[in-house]
Amino acid sequence: MITPPESPGPDDPARDTPPERFPAEAVSIDPDYSTRDGYRADFLDHRLPLPGHQAWAEVASAELTYHHFSIVMHRRRRLALYTAVNIDGRTATRPSRDSDRWIIDPRIPRAEQTNDDLYRDNALDRGHLVRRLDPAWGPVAEAANDDTFHFTNATPQHHDFNADQTLWAGLEDYILHNTDNRDLTVSVVTGPVLHDEDPAYRGVAIPRQFYKLVAMVTTTNRLTVTAYLLSQEALLEEFATGPEEFSFGAYRTFQVPVRRIAALTGLELPAHIAADPLDRLGPTALPREILRSEDILLIS
């Protein structure tokens, strides 16, 4: 976990940089952000609040609300501390993906989020933290889809890694459609694990690991939250060998106790921990490598 730095001083450019302004034609979404409802803690009928981030209070942004999801940024790292999305499989749609036109969020300074400079002329992709289709449900499905193309929702991932996450990217879908899910609804918290030792590239430290917390309510009205850790330690070991060099290997997905995610990230997750089936197993709850969706333990 990164040691929380001191708050920006009065001469820190990250504090004084004004919000980015854009001509109307450069914005492909509704510029009235007051219409965004963000993540709903009561979406599953069992209150599941956003993660607490008191350890990061001095570097965390305010909650940025979008259609059906919210993001809290780490202002110094220029990446999300976490994202949280509500998914309704009953009214989900599949808007087309015409292009990857990403947008700076004008509500926070440009210096506190990444932009195209990080991804230009290299093998890095803008990886979605909130998946494009996750918030695309209900009357605002199209607008919610577009909202996921804010740079606040992007995390740098190698192209090969980003393009071959079949298991990781499908966790929500499996829990939504192939389990004892009462209402075909889930809430998901996703983010990078931010370490001081993450390799720097073009002024941005590239995360080595990512996590997901997937919550659902069973047909017996039981809230269950499962946690997953995607480790790309091996992928990034030689990442910083040169300014433009990449060396990537295999990555692995694990189901881990929610407590493990709390320890790795410094986030406060008491409600998530209380609903974790691995936590109920006690000391025997070792990380479980997930090789296929059926390996997931949902209820104990």
Cα 100–chain centre separation: 18
CA dist 185 and 259 (Å) reads 23
* Options 46, 67, 68, 128, the catalytic residue: 128
Largest CA distance in the chain: 56
Is 178 annotated for ligand binding? no
Contact predicate 210/122, CB 8 Å: no
Element of type H or E holding 187: strand 185-193
128: annotated active-site residue = yes
CA dist 21 and 110 (Å) reads 9
The amino acid sitting at 164 is: D
CA dist 157 and 208 (Å) reads 9
Please provide residue 96's backbone torsions phi and psi, each rounded to the nearest 5 degrees: -70, 155
Give catalytic residues, as residue numbers.
128
Q: Show binding-site residues for Mg(2+).
A: 162
Q: Show binding-site residues.
A: 162
